[in-house]
Structure 1
Amino acid sequence: MSKVPAGLKRFESGERTDELPLSAPAPTEADIPRMTKIMGDCEDITDYAVCAIILASQEKEEENKRRRKRGPTRRWRKRRAEKGAFLNLNQELRGEDPTSYKRWLRVTEEQFDHLLHEISPRIQKQKTKFGEPISAAERLTITLRYLATGNTFRDLSREFRIGERTVSYIILETCAALYEFLKYTFEVPTSKEHWRAVSKQFLDQWNVPHCLGAIDGKHIVIRKPINSGSHYHNYKGIESIVLLAVVDANYKFRYIDVGTQGRISDGGVWKKCNLKELIDVNALDMPPAHPLPGQDIPTPYVFLADNAFGLKPYILKSYGGNDLTLEERICNYRISRGRQVVETAFGSFANRLRVFLNPILLQPDKVRTLVLAGCALHNFLRSHESTESWPVNYVDREDVETGTTLPGAWRTEIPIQPGTDLHLPQVATTYSNYYSTEAKAVRENFKAFFTSDVGVVYWQHRFV
C-alpha cells in the first residue's frame, strides 16, 4: 500500500490554514491517488486544498460536457403525456378492449397488476430535481411490449416517446426484476412424491409411464459478438446461444439452462448442466426403479429426448434407422407423442414472446437475461391458464380415425415480420450407436409395455 503524504492526511482531517479561508471540498477515494500523483510527497496543506478545488472544477466541467453532448430533449418527446403510447393507447385498450389489451402485452389486466405489485420496489425510481421519474407501470409496459413484439429500441422510443438508451436500460432492468420474482415457477422436484406426481401427469395425459419430463434445446439467434470468432457460430451458419429445457406434461419449463455458445450440441449442453450432475449423484431424490405396469422387471424413471442426446438408463429416445420392426415403430411413436410437449412449449413460448423469433441485437449476457425473464413469464402465464383456455386448435392434435397429426395454430400463424420463421432453430443432432447394455434394456422394457395389452392405445397402429 502506497504511503499517504502528510499534507494530504492533514487536509483529509479537515485542518485549514489562513492562506485558504474558503473551505475546499473533501477528496473522495478516487481523488486521493490523482492528488498524490500530482502533488508528490508534499506536506503543504494549502497545496492539497488548491489541488482538490482544481479536481472538483475539472469534474464539474466534464459533467457539463457530457450534458452538452447529450443535447436538449427533443420536442416530440416532451409531448409524451399527451401522445405517448402508455398514457393514451395503453389506457384506452385497458379500459375499453381487454382482448386487444392482452394481444398488445400478452397479459390480462389482472396479471399485469399482479406483476406490477411484485416488482415495483425493484424498478421504481425516486423523484429528483430534474423531474418525475418514469413510473414502474410504464417501465413494465415497455418491457412487455418489447418481449411481445421484438420491436427495436428505436421503434419503442418513438412509440413511448422515451430515449433509446433509456428504453434499453428499462427493458434489461425490468427483465431482471421479472426473473427474480418469477424464478419460483421453475419447480425442479426434490422429493420422490413430487417426482411421482410429475410422472402421473405424463401417464394420464400422454400414456407414458415413468416419465419425469421431456428434454430439448433450441437456438436463440443473436448478433455476432465482437472478437468472438466462431464460438457462437452454429451448424445453421448463424450466431446463437442455446436454451436447454425440461418440460412437464402441462407445457411448463421445469428446468432451463441458458447461455451456452451455439456451436455446442444438445448433448454437449446437457453434459455440462448442473441438472445432470445432480441426477448423477442422486441429489434430487428421484424414485428408485420400479416395474412398469404389467411387468416384473424394475425399470428406472426417465426423461424423453431426441437423437441429440445419448441413450442412458434415465434418458429414453427413439430407435434409429429405417429398417425398424412394427414394435420399434410403435415405440418411437409413443415416445414422440410424449416428447411433443417440449416442442409445443417452445412453440407457444416463441409465438407469445416474439422477440425470440428474430436476431436479438444485444450481447450474450443481456440476451440471457431476456431469455430467463421470458421463460419465467411463460411459466407464470401457463400457471394462470388451462390448456382449454388456449384458442381452438392452438396445439397439435391427433386424428385417431385417420392416423394423422394436425399441426397446431402456433406452427402456422403468420409471422410478425415477413420472412420470419415461427420456430426456434433446432440444435444439432448427434448420432451414436455406443449405448450401454442397461440403457438398451430400459428401452426394450418400454417397447414391451407400449405393445402389451396393458400399455397399448387403440389408435397407435394407425400412426405407424
Structure 2
Amino acid sequence: MEPMAQAADEAFIQNSIEETTVGIYILKSQDRSEDIGIVLEGQKVLQGLDNFALATAMLFGLMYALNLNYPPEMKFTFEVLQKIVMELEGCTLSVKAQVLRNRLFDVYFRLSREQFDSLLSRVGPRISRIHTNYREPVSSMEHLAICLRYLATGDSYTTIASSYRVGISTVAGIVPDVSKAIWDSLVDEFLPVPETADWQEIALGFKERWNFPNCVGAMDGKHVVIQAPHNSGSQDFNYKGTYSVVLLAVVDARYLFRVVDVGAFGRNSDGGTLAASAFGQALWEEKLHLPEDAPLPGTDHLGPMPHVFVGDEAFPLRRNVLRPYPGRNLSQPQRIFNYRLLRARRVVENAFGILAAQWRIYHRVIGVSPANVDAIVKATVALHNFQRWNSTVEAPAPQEEQHFPALSRLRRVSTNNSTREAVAVRESFTSYFSSAAGVVPWQHNIA
C-alpha cells in the first residue's frame, strides 16, 4: 500500500472512531489478521478481542457496569440480540443463562414464558393465517409477539416494524386484530359478568382486606389520551385540553377489573360516563343481581344495608353508590367515613397504576383511531386479569398517585340531587365506622 493511501485510510478510520458513541470495530490488515475492539465516546476502550461474539458480550458488560444508555440508532440491534437470546433452546443453556433468558422474556413481553404459551394457545386459532403458494404468512406466535411488544412499549408502528423486519402496514393490521382476539379469548373466563355469588365474594374481600363491609367494588374513570381523531369536533376533547376516550372500571379487593366500559367521549365526567354506560343503566334499574340487603357486622339495630360501590366526588350519591362528604368543616365521624371510603376506593387507583406500569402504551399519547384504542385498552385490561386471576401473591400497589401521559383523571362534578334514602345509607355507614363494631385502631390518628 502506498504511504499516502495508507495515511488516508488511517485518517478515515480515526475519524470514524471519533464519531462513534458506542460500537464494535473490526479492522483487517493485509495479512488477513483482525483487530476487534470496542469504542465508547470516540475512544478505543478494548482491543485485540478474539471474535465478534466476545466483543458483543463485553460491550453489554461495559454498558451495564458503567450504567450507559445506548444511542437510539442502536436500538434495533439490541432488540435483535435480545430476541436471539430469548429464542435459544433451554436445554443448551446453563441454569444461570436460563434464568437470564426468562427474566429478559418477562421484561420484553410483560408476560412469563408460561403465560405467553398459554395465551398463544387461546389466541392462536383466532389470528392464524392461511398458507398460500405466494408467500409464507406471519406466524401466530409472531402476531402475538408484535402486539404484546407494542402494548409493552408504546413504540410507534415504524419502530415495531423495524424490530421485527415486517412492513409498517403489517404491524398496523396486526395490533388491532390481535388486541380484539385477546379480548374475545379472555373476557368470558377472566372478566365474566358478575352474578350474585361473585358479588358476595367481592364483598367478603373488601370486608377482610379493607375493613369495608357490604362493598362490591371501587369505581373510577380515567381519560386515555389519544391523538385528535379526524373530524371529531369537540366530543373527544376533554377539560384538560387533550383528546381522549374514557375507561370506566369497577375493581375488586384484589386489584382485578370486574366491570369495564371503554369508549365514552372524553368530554364526559365520571358521573356522565357512568349514567351513559350499560353498567350504569343496569345499576339504576337494579339489574346487576347484587346480593340482598344485609346488616353491617354487629349493628343489627341499623337494619339491613344495601351493597354499595365506592367512588370519589365525581360520582353521584345513590342508594348503591357512596361518595365522600364534601367540604372541609366536617365532623369527626364524617372525616372518619371519608378516610374509610378513601381506603377502600384506593384499590381502583392502584389498579390503574399497576395497569399503566405494566403496559407502557399508557405512558404515551396513543396515535391510533378511537376504535382501535378501544380494542387496545380492553386487551390490556384482559391481560391484567389474565396474569393475576389465580395468583395468591398480592400485587404491589403504587404508594403515591403517578402521572401517565395517556391516563389521566376525569373531571369532577358535584351533585346535589341525592335522595333521602341515599343520604340515610351514607349516614348509617358513618355511624358504623365510628362505633365499637366498625372501628379500626388507627383511624383516629389519620382522620
Q: When the two structures are superposed, what TM-score results if normalisation uses the length of structure 1? A: 0.74
Q: Structure 1 residues 304 and 217 mapped into 2: Cα distance closer, same or farther (>3 Å)?
A: same
Q: 2:283 aligns with which of 253, 272, 279?
A: 279
Deviation by residue 1:24-66 (Cα, 9 ceiling, x = unmatched): xxxxxxxxxxxxxxxxxxxxxxxxxxxxxxxxxxxxxxxxxxx
Aligned length: 359
1:292 Cα deviation from its structure 2 partner: 1.3
Q: 2:346 aligns with which of 334, 340, 345?
A: 340
- 2:263 counterpart of 1:259: yes
| Residue pair 1:214, 1:303 contacting (<8 A) in 2 also | yes
Q: Could you say which residue in structure 2 is the equivalent of 1:187?
A: 192
Letter in 2 for 1:247: V
**Percent of matched pairs sharing the same residue:** 39
Letter in 1 for 2:87: Q
| Residue pair 1:309, 1:430 contacting (<8 A) in 2 also | yes
How is 1:204-353 mapped onto 2 (pairs within 5 angstroms)? 204-295=208-299, 296=301, 297-353=303-359
Structure 2, unmatched stretches of 5+, are: 1-75, 91-97
1:356 Cα deviation from its structure 2 partner: 1.8
| Residue pair 1:349, 1:375 contacting (<8 A) in 2 also | yes
Q: Secondary structure at the match of 2:312?
A: coil
> Distance in 1 between the 2:312 and 2:102 partners?
40
1:243 Cα deviation from its structure 2 partner: 0.3
> Distance in 2 between the 1:93 and 1:318 partners?
56
- 2:369 counterpart of 1:363: yes
Q: Could you say which residue in structure 1 is the equivalent of 2:138?
A: 134
| Residue pair 1:196, 1:287 contacting (<8 A) in 2 also | yes
Q: Could you say which residue in structure 2 is the equivalent of 1:421?
A: 404
- 2:77 counterpart of 1:88: no
1:252 Cα deviation from its structure 2 partner: 0.6
Deviation by residue 1:426-449 (Cα, 9 ceiling, x = unmatched): 000001233211111000110111
> Distance in 1 between the 2:234 and 2:406 partners?
23
1:277 Cα deviation from its structure 2 partner: 2.1
Deviation by residue 1:62-120 (Cα, 9 ceiling, x = unmatched): xxxxxxxxxxxxxxxxxx9xx95796254159855211210110000000000111111
> Distance in 2 between the 1:223 and 1:311 partners?
34
| Residue pair 2:353, 2:397 contacting (<8 A) in 1 also | no
CA RMSD of aligned residues (A): 2.0
- 2:416 counterpart of 1:453: no
> Distance in 1 between the 2:349 and 2:86 partners?
33
Q: Structure 1 residues 85 and 147 mapped into 2: Cα distance closer, same or farther (>3 Å)?
A: farther
Letter in 2 for 1:248: D
Q: Secondary structure at the match of 2:409?
A: coil
Q: Which moved more, 1:234-243 or 1:221-230?
A: 221-230
- 2:401 counterpart of 1:395: no
| Residue pair 2:226, 2:406 contacting (<8 A) in 1 also | no
| Residue pair 2:336, 2:433 contacting (<8 A) in 1 also | yes
Q: Could you say which residue in structure 2 is the equivalent of 1:441?
A: 424
| Residue pair 1:233, 1:262 contacting (<8 A) in 2 also | yes
| Residue pair 2:191, 2:257 contacting (<8 A) in 1 also | yes
Q: Secondary structure at the match of 1:99?
A: helix
Q: When the two structures are superposed, what TM-score results if normalisation uses the length of structure 2? A: 0.77
Q: Secondary structure at the match of 1:298?
A: coil
1:268 Cα deviation from its structure 2 partner: 0.6
Q: Secondary structure at the match of 2:424?
A: helix
Structure 1, unmatched stretches of 5+, are: 1-79, 397-406, 413-419
> Distance in 2 between the 1:180 and 1:351 partners?
23
Q: Structure 1 residues 354 and 87 mapped into 2: Cα distance closer, same or farther (>3 Å)?
A: closer
| Residue pair 1:85, 1:160 contacting (<8 A) in 2 also | no
| Residue pair 2:365, 2:405 contacting (<8 A) in 1 also | no
Q: Secondary structure at the match of 1:158?
A: helix
Q: Structure 1 residues 124 and 86 mapped into 2: Cα distance closer, same or farther (>3 Å)?
A: farther
| Residue pair 1:85, 1:159 contacting (<8 A) in 2 also | no
Q: Could you say which residue in structure 2 is the equivalent of 1:164?
A: 168
Q: Could you say which residue in structure 1 is the equivalent of 2:107?
A: 103
> Distance in 2 between the 1:448 and 1:249 partners?
23
Bigger Rg, structure 1 or 2: 1
Q: Secondary structure at the match of 1:144?
A: helix
